[in-house]
Amino acid sequence: MKIINILAKTGILLFLVLFCACQKDDTEKTKTPAARTVIAYIAGDNDLSGDASVSLDAMEQGFSETGVNLIVFIAQTGSNPRLIEIHKGKETLAKTYSTLNTSDPAVLNEVLQDAVSLYPAQEYGLILWSHGSSWMPDGIGLRSFGNDNGTRMNIPELANALPVHFNFILFDACLMGAVEVAYELKDKADYLIASPTETIAEGFPYDQVVPELLQSKIDYSAVAQTCFDYYNAQQGAYRSATVSVVETRYLSGLAAAMKQLCESNPANLQTFDRTSVQRLDVYNEQFWSTTSIPFAD
């Protein structure tokens, strides 16, 4: 009986030691949430692959240790996609991925879920970097973000793939500053920063923009102004930038007012003089095959 009691007590002691050790390990693995995690989704497995490296380098140059995480997913031609944590002038690998389609909403969701899980924060920001073709009615083929071997992501599908609410979404892609895009994302972010026109393939000047995104209180107008000023100081075709900031809480009211306006002034679209409004010409094959302007699209 004495031996049994000794074994029982030893077993209890061993259980307590193992239990406490497990508790300690779990505690050590739990990260304290950062003030903010900014996630950049760089879908560059296309003709923008080289420009993706330029943006990544600029992000590293602009980063400083301020209690904010800067996490970058980058997919480029000829290499495995990877999720990295940015530090000043360097990067730390967080995860690698096998071949995937960056224009698949499920892939976007998986990557963002990984980033949120690995780098929890009190709030989140998102940079969506790739090609963009704005929003137009279904069937036109111009309602998308990204381009991975010819496949693109429909804007409503993109919105549904976002796993958390973001303080801001910054589109570094052509034509994503349309009000229709903003409306689709109004419940997913407080602010949208995007261009309603074509953008230079080089992208935002992240060495200047990243420090502004790390501030405890972001001045979104200043972010847009920084991008505009950078390109306004360039020469020739590179002197091109249009950047808008949308505060999404006003979009429901805008939609209601627009609906009332349309109901009060019905238009016959068959006879409407379309030459009286500016067209959205995105893909003009003859123009894009002959131009040397370094636009992303």
Q: Contact 39/190 with Cβ under 8 angstroms?
A: no
Determine the pLDDT at residue 267. Answer: 72
Domain annotation covers residue 16: no
Residue 120 covered by a domain: yes
Which pLDDT belongs to residue 295? 55
CATH number reported for the structural domain that contains residue 93 in this entry: 3.40.50.11970
In the prediction, which pLDDT does 4 show?
40
Q: Is residue 21 part of a domain?
A: no
Q: What is the DSSP string of 10-72?
A: HHHHHHHHHHHHHHHHHHHHSPPPBSEEEEEEEEESSTTHHHHHHHHHHHHHH---SSEEEEE
Number of Cβ within 10 Å of residue 50's Cβ equals: 12
The CA distance from 59 to 53, in Å, is 10
- Burial of 207 per CB tally in 10 Å (0-12, 13-18, 19+): middle
Structural domain contains residue 112: yes
DSSP annotation of 143 reads: -
* CA angle 192–138–196, rounded 5-degree value: 30
pLDDT at 297: 58
Residue with tokens 């077993």: 11
Listed in sequence order, the residues at least 6 apart from 221 whose beta carbon sits closer than 8 Å to its beta carbon are: 245
pLDDT for 158 equals: 95
Domain that includes residue 101, residue range: 36-260
> Across-strand partners of 246?
192
Ranges of residues in the chain whose predicted pLDDT is under 70: 1-30, 136-142, 269, 279-297
Confidence at residue 143, expressed as pLDDT on a 0 to 100 scale: 74
Q: What is the pTM of this model?
A: 0.83
How far, in Å, CA of 284 to CA of 142, rounded?
12
Taking the C-alpha atoms of residue 9 and residue 70, their distance in angstroms, rounded to an integer, is 50
Domain contains 84: yes
Residue 161 CA, distance from chain mean position: 12
Answer whether residue 286 is part of any domain.
no
How many domains, in total, are found in the chain?
1
* DSSP bridge pairs for 69: 37
* Structural domain contains residue 207: yes
Q: Tell whether 243 is covered by a domain.
A: yes
Q: What is the pLDDT of residue 10?
A: 46
